[in-house]
Chains A and B, each alone.
Chain A
Amino acid sequence: MAHDHNVNPNAPLEYQSETGRLNITGFWTFLGAEIALFSTLFASYFALQARVGDGPTSNEMFEAGLVMIMTMLLLTSSFTCGIAIHEMRANNKKGVIIWMIITLILGAGFIGYELYEFVHYVHEGVTLSTSAHWSMFFILLGTHGLHVSIGIGWIILLLIQLARRGLTPKTASKVFISSLYWHFLDVVWIFIFTCVYLMGMVN
């Protein structure tokens, strides 16, 4: 890129090159757009929440135990992801890789449970076509789940690169950005947990 290649050795690794800095700012901006995206999905979900038609309501379907496990998995993965970045600051490549793999396993567990939940609902006869409410439920959660799945695939690619190239300003900024993404998805899940599951079970 037509950017200054002066490296600032005093900054954290991911901020040392200008490309790294730009990418991080760019990614924060992207997360702004993602907030708008999920806000729209949430708004649509709220607008359709009561429109269950002939289908069941949320509290007839939701199971608290399953959701608690999913929430714990994702929250823990955010924590382990944070440790991985901490290891990166300490310049410990092995630590980064180990903690990121733990993060990924937790994320995969989350996706597994989500798939189980969806399949379970379909078996119970609740599908995308059941009612406006359930259409929005599957699309909102599906969008989040798709994000997590893409995140898993992406981080795997980054770990391969990290293993091959070691911790450089470039790989570091990539890993750092993926961690921002991961934390963001965790925050979105907290909103889903509160607005979809908790409120759905209370109503």
Chain B
Amino acid sequence: MDLKWNEFIITGDPLILGAQISILLGSIAVVAALTYFKKWTWLWKEWLTSVDHKKLGIMYILSALLMLFRGGIDGLMIRTQLAKPGMEFLDPQHYNEVFSTHGVIMILFMAMPFLIGLINYIVPLQIGARDVAFPYLNNLSFWTFFVGMALFNISFIIGGSPDAGWTAYTPLATNEFSPGPGQNYYLLAIQIAGIGTLMTGINFFVTILKMRTKGMTLMKMSMFTWTTLITMLIIIFAFPVLTVALALQTFDRLFGSVIFTLQGDGNPMLWVNLFWVWGHPEVYIVILPAFGIFSEIISTFARKQLFAYKAMVVSIVTISVLSFLVWVHHFFTMGNSAEANSFFSITTMAISIPTGVKIFNWLFTMYRGRISFTTPMLWALAFIPNFVIGGVTGVMLAMAAADYQYHNTYFLVSHFHYVLISGTVFACFAGLIYWYPKMFGHKLNEKIGKWAFWIFIIGFNVCFFPQYFLGLDGMPRRISTYTEADGWTGLNFISTIGAFMMGLAFLIFVVNIVYSWRFSPREKTGDAWGLGRNLEWATSSSIPPHYNFAVLPEVTGLDPYWDMKEKGLDQQKNVDYKPIHMPNNAATPIIMSVIMGAAAFGLVFHWYWIGIVGGIGIFITMIARSFDYNDGYYVSVEEIKETEAKANK
């Protein structure tokens, strides 16, 4: 690529310049603080090289919150540009980059890592395990995700961001129509992060299958664990499709193959198919764990066992199977045969059946319960009506003949924001607040939390509800501006107000984290809400020790911890401890991932030699790993005794 040196760093845009300066200052501040407080060793030993699933979970969640901020800023920029007709806040090229990165970041670098973070922290605890099946791999998963995320995010200051939409349809995304490095960033960054996700999929699938504590049969697992198991299965079968699709487009862009191109008899529609064969299951990858989180929270704060547990399990399994059979509904308008469109219409509508069953089961979990309206519960309750609105409009979109009128419009935009925000984002907030005392030993302030909740919920509806009407009035998605004559001004302006309310709510949420860190009372027991039902609450201290359980709990039924409390058992006390075997920290994953990121960065700019050197580096780290026979270490009985005695004092 004949990239000129003065085009390497993006200049000339005040918005980007502002971002560049703040990133620079931010980095300097972090480095200075770490050096001043002599925290480098601590950071390296306690966090970066840690294989503890709890610490990795927290690092995932922190990254996801950072990306929620970045993706949120993108969203606010989109809404500002659309607030009034003929706005010149962003030019079309910049607007295209902003909505493309908004989509990629929110789905792949916010929703997924947020949920994977919660899964990382909670699932091993819920199955009564001391770690995951492959702790080393878990650290590697995190670092590949992180490097992929970092690579994607530097695109807007170095070289330019991808601008072909998060779907990157060909031929738009081929070299001829997306010249420049932007689309290469998309391909390589998602590829690296995707490898991490696939490893997470394998890791947790095996963890849940093989490492459940004594007595916990599959049908005694918590609903969050169940949804995680199924999600991981979807990841295992869906992500390789993405890997291949991205690789093929990378070959087209970097190595001259002609698969999705206009030249050489290429077939651009193949990309569309491959993308959505992965893309639709991906939607369920981010929604199923959310369902699991809501199930936990609703059952906890209604003080009742989940209604129709078996039906819930059957529903998620059905949804996961159907998720692979509906991808064509993303392009009903591609000139498919009537038979194909009818088939995919029906399979898509069929997904509403198990989903509807779940909604009613959640409602009836609360029936004859004792509902307390804590903040996590509020998020879970708000999920039901909002998700139903998103769900029924999804059924409307599934009706192919009508979809010809909704497709590519704000009706669709509104629909997927309704399901993804009220499903996934509400679940992330709910889950984080619910498990916050487990992670940090204190709750988030309820009062501030409720302010954030209400402002967010109202802002969310103000933002997205009008968009259904904009869609029906013919406003296509991805347009960077419109005219007064289009008649979309009023609703767009309302929508923008809503977006800024959500932004405000996010700020309040962050303030709450800081406020609660200073002022919230510290928890004294492992069961912070006093209503815990599953094993994550059964630890001896509020934040579990690094080995989680001094003695692995035994399980006899659903909601095992609730059961133990009813029977007055405390399995962690007055027992003979045995030494516990734990894995060692690992430094190769971060090194390997950074090399991978550097190699990919070279390839973005067609500097193939960096790619080759990086490839060799990756192999060297893998060889080093293969010869590493480090078997971990034992936690001595004395140390366990000491830790357990100190618990919550």
The CA-CA distance from A112 to B614 in the complex, in Å, is 25
The CA-CA distance from A108 to B261 in the complex, in Å, is 35
> Which among B131, B248, B255, B264 has the greatest number of chain A C-beta atoms within 10 A?
B264
A37, closest chain B residue (CB) = B240
A5, closest chain B residue (CB) = B581
| Chain B residues numbered 143-182 whose CB sits less than 8 Å from any CB in chain A | none
> A71 on the interface (CB 8 Å rule)?
no
The CA-CA distance from A136 to B248 in the complex, in Å, is 8
> B117 on the interface (CB 8 Å rule)?
no
**Beyond A1-B583, A33-B201, A41-B244, is A132–B258 a contact (Cβ under 8 Å)?**
yes
**Beyond A22-B134, A128-B257, A139-B257, is A3–B243 a contact (Cβ under 8 Å)?**
no
Residues 603-633 of chain B, each 1 if its beta carbon lies under 8 Å from chain A, else 0: 0000000000000000100010011010010
The answer to whether B236 and A29 have CB atoms under 8 Å apart is yes
| Partner pick for A1 among B209, B252, B626, B632, CB 8 A cutoff | B632
The CA-CA distance from A161 to B266 in the complex, in Å, is 46
> What is the CB-to-nearest-CB distance from B568 to chain A, in angstroms, rounded to a whole number?
29
Residues 263-307 of chain B, each 1 if its beta carbon lies under 8 Å from chain A, else 0: 011110010011001000000000000000000000000000000
The answer to whether A26 and B134 have CB atoms under 8 Å apart is yes
A32, closest chain B residue (CB) = B236
A3, closest chain B residue (CB) = B581
The answer to whether A26 and B203 have CB atoms under 8 Å apart is yes
> Which among A48, A133, A138, A153 has the greatest number of chain B C-beta atoms within 10 A?
A48
| Partner pick for A52 among B265, B547, B580, CB 8 A cutoff | B265
Residues of B within 8 A of A170 (CB): 629
| Partner pick for B210 among A25, A135, A139, CB 8 A cutoff | A25
Residues of A within 8 A of B131 (CB): 1-2
Residues of B within 8 A of A4 (CB): 581
> What is the CB-to-nearest-CB distance from B137 to chain A, in angstroms, rounded to a whole number?
8
> A44 on the interface (CB 8 Å rule)?
yes
Residues of A within 8 A of B261 (CB): 132
> B239 on the interface (CB 8 Å rule)?
yes
B625, closest chain A residue (CB) = A157
Residues of B within 8 A of A21 (CB): 210
| Partner pick for B265 among A5, A37, A51, CB 8 A cutoff | A51
> A131 on the interface (CB 8 Å rule)?
yes
> A154 on the interface (CB 8 Å rule)?
yes
The answer to whether A44 and B274 have CB atoms under 8 Å apart is yes
> A40 on the interface (CB 8 Å rule)?
yes
Residues of B within 8 A of A48 (CB): 259, 266-267, 270
> A76 on the interface (CB 8 Å rule)?
no
Residues of B within 8 A of A2 (CB): 129-131, 135, 547, 580-583, 632
> A129 on the interface (CB 8 Å rule)?
yes
The CA-CA distance from A52 to B206 in the complex, in Å, is 43
> A36 on the interface (CB 8 Å rule)?
yes
> A91 on the interface (CB 8 Å rule)?
no
> Which among A23, A34, A36 has the greatest number of chain B C-beta atoms within 10 A?
A36
**Beyond A33-B240, A131-B264, is A26–B206 a contact (Cβ under 8 Å)?**
yes
A129, closest chain B residue (CB) = B256
Residues of B within 8 A of A55 (CB): 264
The CA-CA distance from A138 to B247 in the complex, in Å, is 13
Residues 166-201 of chain A, each 1 if its beta carbon lies under 8 Å from chain B, else 0: 000010000000000000000000000000000000
